[in-house]
Structure 1
Amino acid sequence: MIFGPTPLEEAKGAILAHSLRLPGKVLKKGTVLDDEAIAAIRDGGKREVITARLEAGDVPENDAAERLAVTLTAPLIARSRAATGRVNLLAETAGLLVIDEKRINAINAIDESLTVATLPNYTPVAIKEMIATIKVIPFAVPGPVLGVVEAVARGGKAPLFAIRPFRPLKVGLVLTELPGIKESVMEGAVEATTARVEDLRGSMLPVERVRHEEAQIGDALNRLRRAGAELLLVAGASAVVDRRDVGPAGIVRAGGEILHFGMPVDPGNLLCLGRIGEIPAMVLPGCARSPKLNGFDWVLQRIFAGVPVTAADVMGMGVGGLLKEIEVRPLPREQAPRVAPPAIAPRRARSVAALILAAGRSRRMAPLNKLLVADTQGIPMVARVVDNALGSHARPVIVVTGHERDRVEEALAGRPVHFAHAEDYAEGLSASLKAGLAALPPEAEGVVICLGDMPLVSGPMLDRLIAAFDPEEGRAIVMPTFRGKQGNPMLWAREFLPEMLSITGDVGARHLVGKHADRMVEVEMADDAVLRDFDTMEALKGLPLGAKAG
């Protein structure tokens, strides 16, 4: 690939390296220059432009990303459409992500033009969650380089990526008792364990409560085995401190063995891993009574996913195993400095407001108001949208009213939102937008503009947009996408408010994206909620909430 300044006379067919703002037109980075584009550049007063020109054997960025994605795709893994040299890999089922880390590292070491970024190994993933992204850095990859990468990707005995679905295991729990132990502590251990098991699709057998004695534990474990337990757990009234302690000894008493005691994960240090025949058996650390993440979770997830857990696996969990939040201990007085060093402030969260446009006349569904259509639970569509916004970090949440103002406000009664009424809502979308923007508090650095007929956009989706928002880093406009297709809602920095306030007619602000392409970032979503609005009765038939007229 040839990169650098190119005279316009030689630029036809070349790839534009940087976005160009021309009078009345923006040419985006990656545009393949044709006669019309070259004429526009020349009319803009330029005689040369920075381009990338492909040479023989070069594979264009999208083709290269797609070829590598095909190689990496495995059962239960889907891929998005290639766009701007990127393809995302997505989980098609819930389960545990298992990665061949050595081969991923080998691929990333071959050439700087191709990269693969993944979630951490052994991460639990939900259906449609993104597990990896393939990114071609330049505009093309040399063919021989891509061939080597594909060979490495295919070179293992197993796929580079695997989603191991969680299995519906039956779990037996032995709960040991000592005099003086509060019943609430015992109940807490059962509740926390049951929640963990059920989250992984498992089920609990009736709990065995016995005295904190080796023989009692061993007998209880054998009863649970006969009842069909596929995983055995011991929650001791007293913390285990040695592999020969009461809990581990109970596993041995039941005919089992101890594989490893202790783990380099905190909390979770005192986990004891064993087995009775082919059935995994564990003595739980005290922290397992808490719902907070600990080392027990890491082992439990692998077992439910059918991934063997050995002593070596446990000992390899140290990197990243510091899960505990520990307060900084003060220095001894004689070592303390006379003047405390300045604290390093954490990065301040961006202040983003949510603006919900709910003023329209719903002409395509007349005489019904689509925003007041209720689902089977009796919740109007606009209330679903508002609840999703309230479930995000966006504050305040401002609802713009217009048509049937009183009914919309009544539908949202009791919710902590602010209302902004668009008196001239009949003039179109721009009137609603202006009314909402005028109500923004001065401290809001950005605003996410939500449409009242998109009830499937969840709070976590809005938080993904907010997390990507950073005007100082050039991410001043954040647009959600699904498989490369652009959707809503969009997040805008305050700097665009003057232009947004000047919009007229029945249009929103989306057309401003082309003018500010260099300030926009796309955020891929795990499902198509950002593409789905419900503005006709036909569309409402596909509403998962089961809509009915209200």
Structure 2
Amino acid sequence: KINSIEDISVASLTQNFIVERGQKLAGVRIIPLTTREENLIQIEDLCLEKGKVLEIKKYKKLKAALVTTGNEIYKKRIQDKFGLVIRKKLEYFKAQYIGQTFCPDNIEEIKKEILHYKQQGADLIIMTGGMSVDPDDLTPGAIRESGAKVVTYGAPVQPGNMFMTAYLGNTVLLGVPGCAMYYRTTILDVVLPRIFVGEIITKEDFIKMGEGGFCLNCEVCRYPQCFFCRYLLHNILNNTPTLILPLRGGKNSLLLYFY
């Protein structure tokens, strides 16, 4: 809206971008150096009507727990590799880590641990293992049996298709697929910052992640300084073409558009 006003140029970082103290967020310029006062008044009126143009949200101090399922891990036939990965991600947000519990492939046992951590005051319970469609993968069923309201089971993001999000009261339950063990950046890295600032993530939010939801698995990962899950809400809602990515290839380079 502001950029539709004559002479005015506003450029910003993208939506839901992780920023650090002292980092520049946006730049504003009058393109011909001067403009009519009525244009500035129009901007002021627009901001008064619509509210904030930009907002920085601080991470909240959340209590987090980890429930890992699977008979082989429970019986110590194989070593758990998920715990260290998840704990490192939680450390970034300075979460209060309550602990990790291992469960067999049993819905009642998994459900019991979910409710246990809920009673311990967990704001976030991350579930690993048992997230596929195999008959003996019971984590999604246990999440439902706990009484949680499921937002989504499955998301248009790769890696991370089998991701699950649910809310048990004010506690967020995340079912994390196995890809999070092997890929540095997955849907979990997209969702966690929004949870730690207190956002309630909806089904519509996950649907919109499909634009930009295909990770290129770059040899050197630079996320979040890339397009991964950087959808443009305005363009999607208005069904206008959205420039996504330049595909490099010399004189045969192409530009990819979504409609």
**Structure with bigger RCO (C-alpha 8 Å, 6+ apart):** 2
Whether 1:107 and 2:2 are equivalent positions in the alignment is yes
Query: Which ranges in structure 2 are unaligned for 5 or more consecutive residues?
Result: 220-247, 252-259
Asked if 1:143 corresponds to 2:48, the answer is no
Task: Tell me how far 1:182 sits from its aligned partner.
Answer: 6.5
Provide the C-alpha distance between the structure 2 equivalents of 1:190 and 1:179, rounded to a whole number of angstroms.
Answer: 15
C-alpha contact 2:131 2:140 (8 A) present in aligned 1: no
Segments of structure 1 that go 5 or more residues without pairing to the other structure are: 1-105, 328-342, 347-550
Alignment partners' CA distance in 2, 1:265 and 1:291: 13
Q: CA deviation at 1:247?
A: 1.1
The residue number in structure 2 matching 1:294 is: 186
Aligned residue runs from structure 1 range 14-53, under 5 A: none
Among residues 98, 102, 111, which one is paired with 1:218 in the alignment? Answer: 111
Superposed CA deviations along residues 494-514 of structure 1, whole A, max 9, x for unmatched, are xxxxxxxxxxxxxxxxxxxxx
2:165 equivalent in structure 1: 273
- Deviation, 1:120, is 1.0
**Partner residue in 1 for 2:55:** 162
* Residues in 2 aligned to 1:204 and 1:289: alpha-carbon distance in whole angstroms: 19
- Contact 1:107 1:149 (C-alpha < 8 Å) held by counterparts: yes
Note the C-alpha offset of 1:198.
Answer: 1.2
Partner of 1:120: 14
Aligned residue number for residue 305 of structure 1: 197
Q: How does 1:316-395 map to 2 (within 5 A)?
A: 316-325=208-217, 344=249
Q: Percent identical across equivalent pairs?
A: 25
Question: Which of 72, 86, 95 pairs up with 1:202?
Answer: 95
Q: Distance in 1 between matches of 2:32 and 2:77?
A: 63
AA matched with 1:283: G
Q: Deviations over 1:58-112 (max 9, x none)?
A: xxxxxxxxxxxxxxxxxxxxxxxxxxxxxxxxxxxxxxxxxxxxxxxx111122x
Distance 1:326 1:291, change over 3 A: closer
- Please list the CA deviations of residues 268-316 of structure 1 after superposition, one character each: whole Å capped at 9, or x if unmatched: 1110111112211111122222461211111111110111101111111
* 3-state SS of paired residue (1:123): coil
CA–CA distance in structure 1, aligned partners of residues 29 and 155 of structure 2: 36
Which residue among 252, 268, 273 is the counterpart of 2:144?
252
In the TM superposition, residue 208 of structure 1 has moved relative to its aligned partner by 0.7
Change (3 A) 1:122 1:324: same
The one-letter amino acid paired with 1:344 is G
1:179 to 48, 59, 72: 72
Where 1:124 maps in the other structure, the secondary structure is coil
Q: Secondary structure at the match of 1:153?
A: helix
Match of 2:241 in 1: none
Say if 1:133 and 1:326 are closer, same or farther in 2 by CA, change over 3 A.
closer
1:149 partner amino acid: I
The one-letter amino acid paired with 2:92 is D
CA offsets 1:35-67 (integer angstroms, 9 cap, x no match): xxxxxxxxxxxxxxxxxxxxxxxxxxxxxxxxx
Pick one of 46, 55, 64 that aligns with 1:152. Answer: 46
3-state SS of 2:15 partner: coil
What corresponds to 1:133 in structure 2? Answer: 27
CA radius of gyration, larger in: 1
Amino acid at match of 1:256: A
**Mapped contact 1:264–1:314 kept (Cα < 8 A):** yes
1 CA distance for matches of 2:216 and 2:117? 33
Q: CA distance change for structure 1 residues 196 and 326 in 2, over 3 Å: closer, same or farther? A: closer
For residues 67 and 198 of structure 2, the distance between their equivalents in structure 1, rounded to whole angstroms, comes to 22
Between the aligned partners of 2:163 and 2:70, the Cα distance in structure 1 is 19
Quick one: distance in 2 between partners of 1:130 and 1:182? 50
How far the C-alpha of 1:121 sits from its partner, in A, is 0.3
| Alignment TM-score, normalising by the size of structure 1 | 0.38
- The answer for the alignment partner of 2:236 in structure 1 is none
